[in-house]
Structure 1
């Protein structure tokens, strides 16, 4: 259902054999195209086994209240910044978990194999875009959500800003 903005779809169906474009076996220690001459931000997992840098600001930032994001975060929403995949450089080898979204798209989430920290996500519905959880950045003071999505699933105790546009489900693509 979160096929457009939320990289953590409302899902329950595990993908037995993920499609090759999910990058489940990608070697993250080799950057694809970016020389990383300029770094916008950096971060990593709790234990430091997986670190990353991004070269440019995010394309969109959101807070997702779908039930999957609630389960993943252990909170009422997950704050996510999406970047062009080529702007990300990763050191270390994250582990993956793949699922099928309600939309039928496949979602792969990346996390540290040692400490379990949630880091990235990619979906076949948004090729070339990678979501990074805002809490994984060393300094995330630049994060300002453009929208709150799946407000229909938002717990009453989870308060988000009324100044940020909210959508009951997924907004249409722009």
Structure 2
């Protein structure tokens, strides 16, 4: 990995510790991200969040993402998020994202999460989309409308009611 060559020793240690089997080392690494982190750790943190069994680690990662403020991370997060769209921890993660200060431009990712997720996840995705409605381009709106209309019959009754709000945003 060419990118890893540019990392400091401390940053390389964080990446190594995130993969450790010892939960205490993983927790320490997550906490160290606050001081020594950067965009290099976003994807590995998301991977640990969605794949690790520890709720303590997941909670610490959620808190970290909730505190993010760098809008430059939005694309990196959205690009990696879709692969976890039906994960049981998605609801808390999306909640952390809308509570952060990050503005998300790729509404389609969150609409797909709305469609794929359970009712709680869908509500969180709707909240994030509403919060970022001013970022939605006409082209993105058209894409989202097509996706929503193609999936509307497959949605639960709860999601269909939420979809009414989405239709208003995208029209």
Specify the TM-score bucket, using the shorter chain as the normaliser: under 0.3
User: What TM-score do the two structures reach when normalised by structure 2?
Assistant: 0.26
Q: Higher helix proportion, which one?
A: 2
Higher Cα Rg, which structure: 2
Q: Higher strand proportion, which one?
A: 1
Which structure exhibits the higher relative contact order, with contacts defined as CA atoms closer than 8 Å and separated by 6 or more residues?
A: 1
User: What TM-score do the two structures reach when normalised by structure 1?
Assistant: 0.26
